[in-house]
A and B are shown apart, each in its own frame.
Chain A
Amino acid sequence: MTEVVVQDQQRAPVESVPVVSGASITRRYGEGETAVDALRGVSVEMMSGKLTAVMGPSGSGKSTLMHIFAGLDKPTAGDVWISGTAIGELNDTQLTKLRREHIGFIFQFFNLLPMLTAKENIVLPLSIAGEKADPAWLDELTASVGLQDRLTHRPSELSGGQQQRVAIARALVSKPTVMFADEPTGNLDSKTSSEILELLRNSVDNYGQTTVMVTHDAHAAAIADRILFLADGMIVTDLGPSTSHEILEALEGVTVR
């Protein structure tokens, strides 16, 4: 199974290889005079076992880049590879299968299914794929996100932070090649945000989980191994690990441009 392969990649954090990459990605919305270029020739590789943050002002194209890398959207021009597969030629079914095997999601608004319990939400990707969760892995996972005693609760009975923990566990449960987090702290208070960020960092450190996080928040970006800054649909800055102060400065530089 692919599962095994994924696991092997994750358990070999020594050598970082590109797992998602794009070459000259252009994404144009609309046609003619009113056309908007959200991305204008972006080439970038997301490395395995690393946490990459994508930052930029509103309209910079950071969300579009994430959507394309996650196989939710397709570029107008340019090529995208996810785990070695060029997604340009895939039809919907193949793309769905690719997402199922290689991609995990964390959303700003959690996107939990209200009628399912926390545990059912966590194992949802597996049950969709018709697979069973490994009980040991599930125990480890729920313990690591701190939800052991909340598993039978429904989303409406959980706090925002708890809901996002469920979402993180859900994203990790299938051990995806890459996990995308879309403003994961955007809907949380600062204390809860720190906890969630710690969880994300831990999943990278402990499981070698490749993670791409889109965020506005400099504190969030400060946990990343690499920070990409987008402006007007292009990557303008590419930083290594930085403090939030450095990030804010870089961001200011981007915005002023």
Chain B
Amino acid sequence: MIGVALKGLLGRKLRATLTAFAIVLGVAMISGAFVLTDTLGKSFDGIFDESYKATDAVISSKVAIETADGETEAPAFSTAVLGDVENLPGVRVAQGTIEDEASLVDKDGETIGRTGQGVAMGVEPTDDQSLNPFQLVSGEWPSGDGQIAIDSATAAKEHFEIGQSVGAYGDGPLETYEITGIVRFGSEGSLGGVTVSVFDLAIAQRLFDKEGKFDLISVGAEEGVTEAELVSQIDPLLSETMQVKTAEAQASDDSADTQDGLSIIKYFLLGFGGIALFVGSFVIANTLAITVAQRMRELATLRTLGASRRQVLGSVILESLAVGLVGSLIGLFLGLAIAVGLIALLEAVGIDLPSSELVFSTRTIVVSLGVGTLIALLASLRPAVRATRVEPIAAVREGAVMPASRFARYALPVSATVGVIAIALFSYGVFASGVDVLVRVVVLVAGVLFMFVAVAMIATRVVRPLAYVLGAPGARFGGTAGSLARQNAVRNPARTASTAAAVMIGLALITFVAVIGQGFKTSFTGAVDELFVADYSVSAGNNGELLTNEAAQAAAKAPGVEAVSEMRSGEAKVDGKTVLVTGVDSNLTKVIDITWSSGSDSVPPQLGRDGAFLVKRYADDHSLTVGSPLTVKTPAGKQLQLHVDGVVDPPKGGSPFGEISVSTTTFDGAFANHDNDLTLLNMEGGPSAENTAALEESLTAFPAAVVETREEFKDTRTGEITQSLQILYALLGLSVIVSLFGVINTLVLSVFERTRELGMLRAIGMTRRQVRRMIRHESVVTALIGAALGIAVGMFLAVLTTAALSQYGIVFAVPYGTLVVFVGVAILAGMLAAILPARRASRLNVLEALQYE
């Protein structure tokens, strides 16, 4: 029997191949996600290990509190401790350094790479450099003002040589330095494509506002002193706010953030792989259901020859398992290839990985093959059970039909129940408050999956009317072929429904994302329109980076500037909960139109050292009113005792304020970061070409600064949303492609089934062209049914979600243009899916087809 099942599969290679593709793409995504993130992870670990290769212990400041974004930098500490450390018996060498961010500028004056991605280091040139992760390749360590050493990769790429000058900027304005040395990171030479700027220690301390301080002291032990012994020697010398770790521990702490980031990417990609596999399971189940129906006589013959129901069940499941395993294997290696391609792409855009050794772990193989095969197994269960219902007598009866499923008559109540459960789960997921994030995600995912299953079940009943409407244009203008196509689409409503259901899933998710994205955009632009009364904004653009406050000061000197208001922010904790604290200045109300719940525009200028204003939602949630005391703990270890001076009610779609706003003076005293998120300006005469030019002129020393009017500000920020949407479309598009294989499969099988009929149509005068058109129209009608169902389901989910998110200002906004594009894509997809089946149908030999049994 095993032989029969496998031979049967080989006898239907095309179908088996198309079905395997339902698995291949999803598994490729999974294996690709694993390989990519594992490889990147190992590569970054390599960087961090290399950083402390020669070092035995590392002294740094503690981050007083852990905040969610993990980006909060530890404050620098006094250089005083270095002397004590050097005097310890176990210490061979100790080197204090400054580690910060700086960007280099190429010969055209453009920032190399992205702003904020360059590494800056300050080292004492006379020090023993044995612990320094950077080694001099040529030249000398920079010494004193105006000198810099840069990395060999950047030097080579941008054609810099020793003795030439290069522009660099960190927290301050752009300055020109003379290159005195070329350095290399460890043995690799490159730090994942980032630029490296090494300054004299004293210069770096001044440049980054860290006079008299170090960010890090690297310590090397005497011969025979272990890392642990060294750490225990150093520890007693340190104050409360400082810490010492073994080099190994420091490296793994340093890499933790990167690894966390990578694991988010990994689960994100795995999620989309999962969606593609879910769609794939529909395709497999549908294909098997059709072939079981077509092979009814064969199955019945097997039964007359003594095959038991169990053997029939087994043969169908085995067939699917074989397809699943082969598909998973192909997917596994396709994923590997995709990962290799992506890594090559990263290198092509300049993100060189220090070690591009591919990590292809056992876990990747086991999970990829396991999940793919399991999905195929699950998808085969229902068709396999139906196959056992084929009575042996069907072997001798002409035109026997598949017995109705035992559950067929319960289909409506069952699908209605599943639908209700789905809506209940989804609503709970979006509306319930105080639920653990993991529980919420699980409930939401379950709700969406149930929703798809329910709609797929109900779809059988709506296929007829939908096909009638969606097939109307084809029937109207496609002649006989068009109207036959429409009728063909509803000949077997269950088949068309489940084929369309696979298309539906991808489109529902894409529609959902599009509608939610539009909601974000609409509410954001609404908020900007309401708040933003400034003429200009100056920021580091839309990349989320900060812009040094010196840029704001420079912009303030531009001719015609009437008011400048800086805004910066940082995460802090109140009663152990993370809040965002904004630093604002007295000009705030001139550039932002604030709606006050309590207080007035006179509040911001009078905040002083301990005043704060809150956003209304936070104040309400914590029963805070004007006069309430508030204690805020910052990552720099400062504790702020504040009192509430006012409550603002900003539009929900895009508030520039964190939960708590304080004066910039208070902010700067409590946070290590003094750079701005945003600087808003008013200029005489409002936005104009002259004013823009004047502002840009004043900011030439700050290559990272971007000057924008209100409209430009809106465009770049919503452009960010559009960009994320496009990534999501691309990832979800994968599941649409999977569903296309389902459409192809169904059509190929239908053509096969209608061989005699196609022969007859050709015999009575239908041209090949007409045959092709007929198949193409049927395909388009099926795809359109999927699109119609998908758009409806996606909209429905979006309505629920926006209702739940309305407290955050997300509105329900339909991106009509985008939806029209989706429908167009569905039509195109239907046409593509029809190419192969249509060709097969049109090439049938008429005589043979007529005699086909």
Q: Which listed residue, A70, A93, A109, A128, touches B302 by the CB 8 Å rule?
A: A128
B309 near A93 (CB under 8 angstroms)? yes
A100 near B: Cβ within 8 Å?
A: yes
A127 near B: Cβ within 8 Å?
A: yes
Interface positions, chain A 52-76, Cβ under 8 Å from B, are 63, 67, 70, 72-73
Shortest distance from the beta carbon of B260 to any chain A beta carbon, whole Å: 52
B393 near A72 (CB under 8 angstroms)? yes
B8 near A113 (CB under 8 angstroms)? yes
Interface positions, chain B 388-438, Cβ under 8 Å from A, are 391-393, 395-396
A114 near B: Cβ within 8 Å?
A: yes
Q: Which residues of B contact A116 (CB under 8 A)?
A: 4, 7
Q: Which residues of A contact B83 (CB under 8 A)?
A: none
Q: Which residues of B contact A67 (CB under 8 A)?
A: 393, 396
Q: Which listed residue, B3, B308, B395, touches A127 by the CB 8 Å rule?
A: B3
Q: Which residues of A contact B756 (CB under 8 A)?
A: none
Shortest distance from the beta carbon of B462 to any chain A beta carbon, whole Å: 32
Q: How far is the CA of A97 from the CA of B395 in the complex (A)?
A: 17
Q: How far is the CA of A103 from the CA of B301 in the complex (A)?
A: 13
A109 near B1 (CB under 8 angstroms)? no
Q: Which residues of B contact A103 (CB under 8 A)?
A: 304
Q: Which residues of A contact B129 (CB under 8 A)?
A: none
B1 near A128 (CB under 8 angstroms)? yes
Q: Which residues of A contact B302 (CB under 8 A)?
A: 113, 124, 128
Q: Which of A97, A108, A111, A125 has the most CB of B within 10 A?
A: A111
B11 near A115 (CB under 8 angstroms)? yes
A120 near B: Cβ within 8 Å?
A: yes
Q: Which residues of B contact A70 (CB under 8 A)?
A: 304
Residue of A nearest to B7 (CB): A115
B303 near A: Cβ within 8 Å?
A: yes
| A residues contacting the other copy or chain, number (CB 8 A) | 31
Given contacts A96-B309, A113-B298, A128-B311, contact A105 B8 (CB under 8 A): no
A115 near B306 (CB under 8 angstroms)? no
Q: Which listed residue, B3, B11, B306, touches A100 by the CB 8 Å rule?
A: B306
A182 near B: Cβ within 8 Å?
A: yes
B10 near A: Cβ within 8 Å?
A: yes
Instruction: Give the size range of B's interface with the partner.
Output: 20 to 34
A99 near B: Cβ within 8 Å?
A: yes
Q: Which residues of B contact A93 (CB under 8 A)?
A: 308-310
Q: Which listed residue, A107, A109, A111, A128, touches B306 by the CB 8 Å rule?
A: A128
Interface positions, chain B 497-539, Cβ under 8 Å from A, are none
B307 near A: Cβ within 8 Å?
A: yes
B621 near A: Cβ within 8 Å?
A: no
Q: How far is the CA of A70 from the CA of B393 in the complex (A)?
A: 10
Q: Which residues of B contact A107 (CB under 8 A)?
A: 301, 395-396
A105 near B7 (CB under 8 angstroms)? no
A124 near B309 (CB under 8 angstroms)? no
Given contacts A96-B307, A127-B1, contact A182 B7 (CB under 8 A): no
Q: Which residues of B contact A182 (CB under 8 A)?
A: 396
* Between-chain CB contacts (< 8 Å), 10 pairs: A107-B395, A111-B301, A111-B395, A113-B298, A115-B7, A115-B8, A115-B11, A124-B305, A125-B305, A182-B396
Told that A105-B301, A107-B396, A108-B396 touch, could you supply 14 new A-B pairs with CB distance under 8 A? A72-B392, A72-B396, A73-B393, A97-B308, A105-B395, A107-B395, A111-B297, A113-B302, A115-B10, A116-B7, A124-B302, A127-B3, A127-B4, A128-B305
Q: What residues of chain B have their CB less than 8 Å away from a CB belonging to chain A?
A: 1, 3-4, 7-8, 10-12, 297-298, 301-311, 391-393, 395-396, 853
| Ranked 4 nearest A-B pairs via Cβ | A100-B306, A115-B11, A72-B393, A111-B301
